[in-house]
A and B are shown apart, each in its own frame.
Chain A
Amino acid sequence: MQKMKLFVSEGNPHCLKALAVLELTGVKCDVQHVNHEEKVVPFLSRPTLPVLHLPSGQYLFSSNAICQYLFDVSKKGSSKQSHQWLEWEATELQPALMYALHLVVVQGKTADSAKGLEAPLSFLEQSLSKRTTAFLTAETVGVADIVLWAALYPAFLENGLKTSELKSTRTWFERVGVLPACQASVQTVLKGKGVEALKGYLQKQPAPHGQHTQPRNTHTSSNGSPTETEDSDHNTTEEEIEAAAQIWNQQIDCQSKPERKHPILPEEGKRNVLITSALPYVNNVPHLGNIIGCVLSADVFARYGRQRGWNLLYICGTDEYGTATENKAREEGLTPQEICDKYHAIHTDIYKWFQIDFDFFGRTTTQKQTEIAQNIFWRLHERGFLIEDIVEQLRCESCQRFLADRFVEGVCPFCQYPEARGDQCDKCGRLINAVELKEPQCKVCKQTPVIRSSKHLFLDLPKLEANLEQWLDRSVSTGDWTTNARNITRSWLRDGLKPRCITRDLRWGTPVPHPDFSGKVFYVWFDAPIGYLSITANYTDQWEKWWKNPEQVELYNFMAKDNVPFHSVVFPCSLLGAQDNYTLVNNLVATEYLNYEDTKFSKSRGVGVFGDMAKDTGIPSDVWRFYLLYLRPEGQDAAFSWADMALKNNSELLNNLGNFINRAGMFVGKFFEGCVPQVVLQEEDKRLLAQVGWELKQYIQSLDKVRIRDALKCILNISRHGNQYIQVNEPWKKIKGGDADRQRAGTVTAVSVNMSVLLSAMLEPYMPTVSETIRSQLQAPPASAHFMLQGEGNFVCSLPAGHRIGTVSPLFQKLEAEQIETLKKKFGGQQPEEEASKKQPQTITQNNAATKASAPVAASETSVKADPELVKQLVAAIAEQGDKVRALKGQKAEKAVIGAEVAKLLEFKKQLALAEGKSPEPAPQKGKKK
């Protein structure tokens, strides 16, 4: 008898169920991955997946039947209720879901997609809110739970499909989603790409019909013009077409956007927007995930806001206090302050290269930080929001200090692993309380620490909870909070808040001013967000106009999702408790994680691209920005991939966007002596204007809601329309024809080149250099960009007939396969080649592959036996790095740059000493005596 086999295809949403149930039931079965188009079932004409091929030869081609069968054979059984749910899923939910997903993923229309789902979702919500069991049909997870969860999963991933309040549904959905079986199936089917992964599948399906909610095609024009055939296009109405033609003829009647004059302060009657990006931690070089997660996302929004004419301040800075900095200082033999200075400069350079246009980029180790943090502390203290408690901690008598978790090692109390850390065991992964470690050792001096109790202060979160909830309700319902931010916050509140310790026995921090707690500093989580205030205070003395002005200021916080609770719960509690009319966050924008080629970025393993290396790739900053924003993990984790980056560069930037803009400009130069020709609009042109206008409107609506990735797609859609328009009208042929043809060629060229001006305005937040290049090539009037982005967007003719353009040249370059292959190897991390070892010496010494990739600090103390191959590599790396430093000094490069390279050189030398088997020199102690 043959074995049972499950056929699945990647990116097919129906396979989620089958894989999750297979995993959950543990039924023995082979899984075979095939193409979407593979015909597995001999008797079905249309390819259908998933398919379960049973030992008897029978095929199951309905995903629900497969799930039922697997439950059945694993003796888990199913109830009458589950039958009903399965039927409902197949007949009611699926058609609505497929229609919605098709709209979003294939047609890029997030706006209308949620409508068809309202009815089924509210039915589900009602049923769930009335149930008495943990799951749909029982106390344990059943077939109906998995089937419905899997069906909804892709829809819930996509922001656009999320309807506001489905409380019971969400709770249930999360409960099912955390099952390892479900997570594994998501990984298998979506590969970390989110709903985009479904695109290939959905495109191959016949376009589903929305049942009753779908607005039928209102456009019934009979001339059937060739540009109006793709069903993914917005169907323009006659009114839209007329309106678009009118806008086209409007005069640009406003001033160019107001110039930035520092200090920017809130102004009466203006939209005052304060934008913060999570403060990057100073002790490491940020990787691409960090960059897209906060500073770059916030930058796009800030640039957009400035274009729109908002009165806007964008601040950020390095977060410099804390254990990790002390640790890093010890490693590099510098003082914490020196470490901060060094890395602050590195951060500044990286962000400059990425064209992050902060209004101010500060740091947390300043006098203002101390003043403001201590002020908030005292106000909390006076109002009774701080409580004292005793905490047991390990103290090293020989080092004369309390040991932070990372500074202790010992035997794991659970699995006896001898090198467990103070917070977690690397072997069994369990969390450890440092005082529970057996045979604890100070990591620095190897002495045995003693348990000491130490008095600490706690922020009384339970006391502030009611206050917080009241504020949260208002903020979440009136502002734009990403769904992950709402969910994470809700789950924190659901679990109940506990008092949180705000002090630490450390030296590198803001001192606690209370005499009973002298010698202690504030815990970073309390201290760091105050950095936003103190950095603003370092920017302007009138910082309180921003930070104590909730009536006039709208605050946007950008961050990755791990930072959410501190911004939505903990920090607001500090500010609420201080009762000083602080500005609290109105819009909390959190991204998911960006992975690197299906693994995590890891400094210690040398995996991934870090901020300082991006420029060494030779790929322009704008292209990096574009790709990161195109990938931006909105709604779900995304994965950086070299091959994909090359693909997107070549297909979207080069062949689509760049090609269109270049052709339009070339036509003006070649056929019309560099002067924009006369426009005589025909019906077809007007329809194009309407379509472009519609995309522009979508762009503005998306960016207003901080849907940065969606808005980028609108830009690419416009150039796609443009390419089609040129292709159909063939101006290069018409120019050789009679008067009518020549006029037609002129109109098409002029409309196209004006679209380029619009594109330059829309591109500015994403690719500032490219935007500027287009504008200077076309000699676009400065006010046009600002004007086009007002209101719902105005696609006006900004280059009138007779306007002289400049010299046009290509905007983008092809990324060749070999180039990408080289880069992939260089940053891959798996086999440290010479190039990789140069960049990332840690790769080699860190031979413990099990080290958690996410560990934020590279623990480089691991001792390694002499390894001749390694020594050779390091000697070569040192020679090369030495040359680099000399070259930099010769070029009189910036001090910070040289400093960073020198530090790398020293690090290599240290690695070499280790690799040669010499005992590593004791870290110089100069920083510690303070």
Chain B
Amino acid sequence: MALKELSSLEKFLGLKKPNKYSTQGDRKVPVLQSNSGPGLVGLVTIATHLTQEAKKPDLLGSSAEERAVVQQWLEYRVTRLDGCAKEDIRTILKDLNTYLEDKVYLAGNHISIADPLMYYGLHHIIMDLAVHEKEKYLNVTRWFDHMQHYPIVRHHLPPVAVLRNRVYTSGHH
């Protein structure tokens, strides 16, 4: 799972040569193998590293503030979202929904690696949402749809139909 996502991320970053990954532990934490010294461990660490390799530092944030916000959402992804209990899903969606109310991207006014990584992490959750729930978390859905249509983000994941045509105002399902 994490490995597919990393290879999608490589493509998103425009890295030509694929890296070798493995996982460790019960939580299947990704490890980036390296020829020199110990590998890099952890999704956030590896993603940050790949972005630097791709020479796209803006994707990590273009100011101290943006960098911090990017790191914050990356951490949110691996600590709150990954492996979260069922009952927490609604809270996460609700919070993200409020946060995204006035935002197009998670950090700043342009895409950062926090966006695709959050998208990868949320995909299975959004897939399972009933249509009316997708409407409930409208800002998340909008952002999610934006991501899946963003060039070369989606890759390994199937598209999710998110929006209904709101022809009728209510009652018809």
Q: Which residues of A contact B (CB under 8 A)?
A: 42-46, 54, 56, 58, 60-62, 64-66, 68-69, 72-73, 80, 83-84, 86-88, 90-91, 94, 211-212
Contact = CB atoms under 8 A, between A and B. Distances in A.
A43 B52 CA distance: 31
A83 B72 contact: no
Given A60-B69, A87-B75, A91-B27, 11 more contacts: A45-B94, A46-B91, A58-B65, A62-B76, A65-B72, A66-B68, A83-B48, A90-B75, A90-B79, A94-B79, A211-B26
B98 A64 contact: no
Given A80-B45, A91-B79, A45 B71 contact: no
A54 B65 contact: yes
A87 to B, nearest CB: 4
A64 B75 contact: yes
Q: Which 4 A-B pairs have the closest CB atoms?
A: A69-B68, A65-B72, A43-B98, A87-B42
Contact of B95 (A44, A56, A73, A87): A44
B64 interface: yes
A62 B72 contact: yes
B68 A84 contact: no
B122 interface: no
Contacts of B43: 87
Given A60-B72, A65-B71, A68-B68, A87 B44 contact: yes
Contacts of A88: 41-42
Contacts of A87: 41-45, 75, 78
B42 A43 contact: no
Contacts of A212: 26
B78 A90 contact: yes
Contact of B49 (A64, A69, A80, A91): A80
Given A80-B49, A88-B41, A45 B72 contact: no
A83 B91 contact: no
21 contacts: A43-B95, A43-B98, A43-B101, A58-B65, A62-B75, A64-B75, A65-B75, A68-B68, A69-B64, A69-B67, A69-B68, A73-B64, A80-B49, A80-B52, A83-B44, A83-B48, A83-B49, A84-B41, A87-B43, A88-B42, A90-B79
B99 interface: yes
Contacts of A72: 64, 67-68
B40 interface: yes
Contact of A68 (B27, B71, B95, B98): B71
A87 B172 CA distance: 47
Dominant secondary structure at the A interface? helix
Contact of A83 (B45, B76, B79, B95): B45
Contacts of A86: 71, 75
Contacts of B129: none
B41 A56 contact: no
Contacts of A61: 72
Contacts of B68: 60, 65-66, 68-69, 72
B125 interface: no
Interface in B42-84: 42-45, 48-49, 52, 64-65, 67-69, 71-72, 75-76, 78-79
Dominant secondary structure at the B interface? helix
B160 interface: no
Contacts of B45: 80, 83-84, 87
A56 B107 CA distance: 12
A434 B29 CA distance: 61
B34 to A, nearest CB: 11
Contacts of B79: 90-91, 94
A652 to B, nearest CB: 35
A76 to B, nearest CB: 11
Contacts of A54: 65
A765 B46 CA distance: 57
B113 to A, nearest CB: 12
Residue of A42, A80, A87, A88 with highest tally of chain B CB at under 10 A: A87
A54 B29 CA distance: 32
B48 A80 contact: yes
Contacts of A43: 95, 98-99, 101
Contacts of B71: 62, 64-65, 68, 86
Nearest to B64: A72
Nearest to B92: A45
Nearest to A46: B91
A42 B72 contact: no
A86 B75 CA distance: 9
B2 to A, nearest CB: 12
Nearest to B91: A45
Interface string B143-154: 000000000000
A90 B77 CA distance: 11
Nearest to A84: B45
Contacts of A83: 44-45, 48-49
Contacts of B94: 45
Given A69-B68, A73-B64, A91 B40 contact: no
Nearest to A48: B95
B65 A56 contact: yes
A80 B49 CA distance: 7
A65 B77 CA distance: 13
A584 to B, nearest CB: 44
B78 A91 contact: yes
B21 to A, nearest CB: 15
Residue of B41, B64, B71, B76 with highest tally of chain A CB at under 10 A: B71
Nearest to B74: A87
B29 A68 contact: no
A88 B69 CA distance: 18
A84 B29 CA distance: 12
Contacts of B99: 43
A298 B91 CA distance: 52
A54 B94 CA distance: 23
Given A64-B71, A91-B29, A69 B65 contact: yes
Nearest to A127: B38
Interface in B1-54: 26-27, 29, 40-45, 48-49, 52
Interface string B76-116: 10110000000000010011001101000000000000000
A116 to B, nearest CB: 13
Contact of B69 (A42, A45, A58): A58
A833 to B, nearest CB: 52
Contacts of A211: 26
A58 B91 CA distance: 20
Contacts of A65: 68-69, 71-72, 75
Nearest to A66: B68
Nearest to B78: A91
B95 A45 contact: yes
Nearest to B52: A80
A87 B82 CA distance: 13
A91 B75 CA distance: 8
Contacts of B64: 69, 72-73
Nearest to B97: A43
Contact of B98 (A42, A46, A62, A94): A42
A68 B75 CA distance: 12
Contacts of B42: 84, 87-88, 91
A143 to B, nearest CB: 11
A421 B67 CA distance: 53
Nearest to A119: B25
A88 B45 CA distance: 9
A443 to B, nearest CB: 57
Contacts of B49: 80, 83
A94 B80 CA distance: 12
Nearest to B100: A43
B136 to A, nearest CB: 14
Contacts of B91: 45-46
A56 B69 CA distance: 12
B54 to A, nearest CB: 14
Contacts of A66: 68
Nearest to B40: A84
Nearest to B65: A54
A920 B36 CA distance: 78
